[in-house]
Structure 1
Amino acid sequence: MTYSEVFSHIYSFMKHDPRGNYKLMLGTDSQIHESHTLFITGIVVQRIGKGAWACFRKVTVPRCMTVLHERISYETTLTEEVASLFTKEYIDALIQIVLPYIYKGASFMVEGHIDIGAGERNKTRVYVNEMMARIQSLGIEPKIKPDSMVASSYANKFTK
């Protein structure tokens, strides 16, 4: 799908129930295969408690990216690329859907899911501040494990 088609699906999904609580969540995961590294960026709009619509973007790097920092950084870059497509005008259009209903409980937020964790035994913990700062600099709420379900669960499912 083109970005316009993706946005159209998200817009229609939200327009169907403008009183909902919405999260637009973006996140990337990767998997090293025999001769390449596969990256999947998930784009998920969730109507909390009432379903979701999702799609993903696939990028293949024709080599095994075994250096963890490089792979985590590239995952974050791909999430940033997709996030940059959601310009102020696009985000404003989605906000306008729920705006008349915010005093009745409607909401909309954008999150960037990063497939890293801050746990003591997690090898990626040394990159948490760096990657969170990158996502935050886009004006997006960064989420890490266990709250980064688009990267660590949805996108992960398609990397295998």
Structure 2
Amino acid sequence: MVNPRPAGHTFKNLQESKMEFEQVFERITEFMKSDPCGNYRLMVGTDSQVHRSHTIFITGIVIQNVGNGVWACIKKVIVPRKMTQLHERISLELSLTEEVVSLFTEDKKNELINIVLPNVYQGATFTIEGHIDIGAGIRNKTSEFVKEMVMRMESMGVEPKIKPDAFVASSYANRYTK
């Protein structure tokens, strides 16, 4: 088993650093309360990059009001070795995503749902997605893991998204793994 070394158990973005999850949750609720009629997608995904002596994992949390902006943050974990086995790396990416998704307890999910609930008949929506940095294409090295990883996300009650729809993992988090 890998003993990842979190670069602090905190989240950060361009405006703030060292946010605990409670602060992240506050920012998400503030963002949603600013437009309770919005179409919200809460997305969590992780990407990794193997470096010479370590592997960096970045988990992104993005709350998107479709067509009306986003609020996002990341959490960094460093594993002090080169993780060259693809399945091990993809599996740890998903475990880190699951860990963050699990911070959104039933109470917290209900709190977010209750922001849009009075406006559902005016078109307000809220979904939670787990973005997995894998693709199903025949030429994609990760295609053999799709079923396993998708089932893991579904078992958490989260809508799984794979490439090209997993942009929180494949684009946002990826940017910070370099």
**If the TM-score is normalised by the length of the shorter chain, which range does it land in?**
over 0.9
**Corresponding residue for 2:173?**
155
2:165 is the alignment partner of 1:133: no
Q: Percent identity of the aligned residues?
A: 64
Give the TM-score taking structure 2 as reference length: 0.90
Deviations 1:27-78 (A, max 9, x none): 0000001100000000000000000000000000000000000000000000
2:20 is the alignment partner of 1:2: yes
Query: Secondary structure, in 3 states, of the residue corresponding to 1:123?
Result: coil
2:28 is the alignment partner of 1:34: no
**Corresponding residue for 1:62?**
80
Once superposed, which parts of structure 1, at least 4 consecutive aligned residues long, lie more than 3 Å away? none
Higher helix share: 1
Instruction: List gaps (5 residues or longer) in structure 1.
Output: none
Deviations 1:82-130 (A, max 9, x none): 0000000000000000000000000000000000000010000000000
- The alignment yields a C-alpha RMSD, in angstroms, of 0.3
Q: How many residues align?
A: 160
2:118 is the alignment partner of 1:95: no
Give the TM-score taking structure 1 as reference length: 1.00
**Corresponding residue for 1:119?**
137
Instruction: List gaps (5 residues or longer) in structure 2.
Output: 1-18
Aligned-partner Cα distance in 2 for 1:20–1:41? 24
